[in-house]
Amino acid sequence: MSGTNECKAFLVLENGDVFQGNYFGAHGEVTGEIVFTTGMTGYLETLTDPSYHGQIVLQTFPLIGNYGVISDDFESADIGLKAYIVKYPCASPSNFRSETTLDSFLKKRGIIGLCGIDTRALTKIIRKNGVMNGKITSSPPADADSEEIKKYTVINPIAAVSQKDSVNADTGSAKYRIALMDFGAKRGIANELCRRGCDVRTFPYNAPAAEIMQIKPDGIMLSNGPGDPADPENKVILKTLDALVKTGIPIFGICMGHQLLALANGYKTRKLKFGHRGANQPVKDTQTGQVYITSQNHGYEVISENINMSSYSFVNVNDGSCEGLDYGISFSVQFHPEARGGPLDTGFLFDRFIERIEKYAAR
């Protein structure tokens, strides 16, 4: 089933646990932060999500790759993660849209895959102890590996995944102009805005507020992205957001954008034990009580104890963490409405953004 040549590989965790399996995709050594995602589908979106930069991603669902590789479903041109762990990679996908197998795709992109380990046991370790670093290697683990693994960290990840220049996605007949700040943006965000008749101009993460304001945006979109929102390297972003908030222009933040907007508004963030990653995360609207199924990928949260409850818009049903904040004209959510969890449960948030832009324009 795996389609591998049974080349032995080891996963060494920073706590000393070792798993033995086999390579698929590219072969070699790699170190990264291990996180798990619970989605049963959406592995192509996971592979191409820039928010996984610097991480080794573990799929909890055992069989991955059964509908092949479909480039139209990619969220970016690049692979976000450092390595990929699955129980069984499917060697014979069945889908009329499929272009190749997962194994071949990872080989071509130079991404190391590990299969055949007890993914359920690994998930339990992460749930109990929290996310931790790990190393995939072809050699039996040595005592010296543990210190190297523990020291691994991702340096300035948003800068690594953000585009370098501004890009305009002009629809040709747009009513509103949106400035999208790219912290590692998924394609789905711009696509949802374009479907609603917006021209989307994408700016790199370090674009100053003055440059963004030059296009006279009707609304500002803050994208998803990797890493710790409170990383000192993000001070340049917070400076820009502070200036943009003061303009009064409607702002909509998603995932990392949600966290950075919260920091710019005086709230705090912290790391979750093992994060929320998957296409089946339940979120409740605090005003209506409606529960939505959402797609998520984040390892940090806005600290709910410090939040003005009148602005607390969504809450995670599983652990009570903050999933949304409403500042009046601007708002943000921790989950991904563009990722079609449900599958269309929270797409209305893009309509809400347009409504607030219209309200702002009418003033």
**Composition of the chain by helix, strand, coil, percent to 5:** 30, 30, 40
Kindly state the tokens that stand for 38: 């619970």
Between 83 and 341, name the one with better pLDDT: 83
- What CATH number should be reported for the domain whose range is 8-151? 3.50.30.20
Q: What's the pLDDT at 1?
A: 43
pTM given for the model: 0.95
Q: How far apart are CA 200 and CA 338, in angstroms?
A: 15
Mean pLDDT of 172-199: 93
pLDDT digits (tens, 9 = 90+) for 75-88: 999 998 999 999 99
- Judged against a pLDDT cut of 90, whether residue 106 lies above it is answered with yes
CATH 3.40.50.880 placement within the chain: 157-361
Q: What angle do CA 61, 65, 70 make, to 5 degrees?
A: 130
Q: What's the pLDDT at 145?
A: 74
Q: Comparing C-alpha atoms, which of 344, 362, 338 is closest to residue 200? A: 338
- Judged against a pLDDT cut of 70, whether residue 170 lies above it is answered with no
Q: What's the pLDDT at 2?
A: 44
Q: What angle do CA 25, 28, 32 make, to 5 degrees?
A: 90
- Across the chain, mean pLDDT equals 93
- Judged against a pLDDT cut of 60, whether residue 111 lies above it is answered with yes
Kindly state the tokens that stand for 77: 């041109």
Mean pLDDT of 203-220: 97
- Judged against a pLDDT cut of 50, whether residue 3 lies above it is answered with no
Q: What's the pLDDT at 306?
A: 75
pLDDT digits (tens, 9 = 90+) for 22-55: 999 999 999 999 999 999 999 999 999 999 999 9
Catalytic residue among 255, 258, 322, 323: 255
User: DSSP alpha helices (H): ranges in 275-347?
Assistant: none
* Distances, alpha carbon 256 to alpha carbons 52, 205, 253, 282, 337, in Å: 12, 12, 8, 19, 13
For tokens 């390579």, name the residue: 23
CATH superfamily of 157-361: Class I glutamine amidotransferase (GATase) domain (3.40.50.880)
User: DSSP alpha helices (H): ranges in the chain?
Assistant: 43-47, 102-109, 119-129, 145-151, 157-161, 187-195, 209-213, 235-247, 256-264, 348-361
pLDDT bucket at 212, cuts 50 / 70 / 90: very high
Q: What's the pLDDT at 304?
A: 86
Mean pLDDT of 347-361: 95
CATH 3.50.30.20 placement within the chain: 8-151
DSSP string, 228-239: -TT-GGGHHHHH
Half-sphere exposure of 335 (CA within 13 A, CB side): 31
Q: What's the pLDDT at 171?
A: 54
**Catalytic residue at 338?**
yes
Q: How far apart are CA 280 and CA 46, in angstroms?
A: 14
Percent of the chain scoring above 70 in pLDDT: 96
Q: Note whether 13 and 107 are within 8 A (CB).
A: no
- Judged against a pLDDT cut of 70, whether residue 229 lies above it is answered with yes
Percent of the chain scoring above 90 in pLDDT: 86
Q: How far apart are CA 106 and CA 242, in angstroms?
A: 40
pLDDT bucket at 5, cuts 50 / 70 / 90: low
pLDDT digits (tens, 9 = 90+) for 245-273: 999 999 999 999 999 999 999 999 999 99
Q: Note whether 306 and 321 are within 8 A (CB).
A: no
- Counting beta carbons within 10 angstroms of the beta carbon of residue 305, is it exposed (0 to 12), middle (13 to 18) or buried (19 or more)? exposed
**Catalytic residue at 301?**
no
pLDDT digits (tens, 9 = 90+) for 314-331: 999 999 999 999 999 999
Mean pLDDT of 146-173: 83
pLDDT bucket at 277, cuts 50 / 70 / 90: very high
**Catalytic residue at 355?**
no
